[in-house]
Amino acid sequence: ALARQRDCWIVGPNTAGIIWPGRLLLGSLAPDDAVPGPVALISRSGTLSFEMVRILSQAGFGQSLCVNVGGDRVIGRNPAEYLRVAAADPGTRAIVLVGEVGGTKEYEAAEVVRSLRGQKPVVAYVAGRSVPRGRTMGHVGAILETDRDTAEHKRRALAAAGAVVVDTPWEVPGALRSLLAG
């Protein structure tokens, strides 16, 4: 609350950080894997942030921004806020959103995705489709308490908002190619 009062952004806690390739690194995202380009990456998962940066770069998609917001229930800024940053950035042509089970952050992000229709395409991947109910997966934010916490519900909400939802991280480059070609 104090950071918001002072118009400051907190990256974290429990996050791999943020990188603007070639310009800024806060945290532990691998600068050698990130290359400048037109795709913003916003992820709740630290591990999937590392992997997605690598997948994007190897497929020829440089990044305008890569941020791991952290997966715990208490975070600095949420994915919806970073989606607005990416949407306002003239150097960003598309956005990749990586979500996971637990919490409501993907539903908040879906509202922003809905507002981006026709402006900037969003490709979304939600991890944890086979997580059993009541089990914490990795950190306290990734727990299934209700149906809304499941990957499937979040995938449907993001698709209804206009995101192209993929089944695996490796499908993201193909989806981006299709969206940016049209």
- Quote helix, strand, coil % in the chain, to nearest 5: 35, 20, 40
Whether 126 contacts 154, CB under 8 Å = yes
Cα gap 106→149, rounded to integer Å = 10
User: Is position 139 annotated as part of the catalytic site?
Assistant: yes
Q: Read off φ and ψ for residue 174, nearest 5 degrees.
A: -65, -40
Q: 14-28, 69-83, 126-140, 164-178: which has the minimum mean pLDDT?
A: 126-140
Query: What was the pLDDT predicted at 36?
Result: 96
Contact of 53 with 96, CB cutoff 8 Å: no
Peptide bond into 13 cis (omega under 30): yes
Query: For 88-144, how does the pLDDT look when each residue is reduced to its tens digit (9 = 90+)?
Result: 999 999 999 999 988 889 999 999 999 998 899 999 999 988 776 666 665 555 666
pLDDT digit string, tens, across residues 144-163: 667 777 889 999 999 999 99
Q: With 90 as the cut, is the pLDDT of residue 29 above it?
A: no
Q: Which amino acid is at 136?
A: T
* Sign for the pseudo-dihedral over CA of 49, 51, 53, 56: negative
Q: What is the pLDDT of residue 182?
A: 65
Tell me which of 73, 84, 139, 153 is the catalytic residue.
139
- Taking CA atoms, 30 is separated from 11, 19, 27, 35, 47, in Å, by 16, 9, 9, 10, 11
State if pTM tops 0.85: yes
Mean pLDDT, rounded, for 15-32 = 89
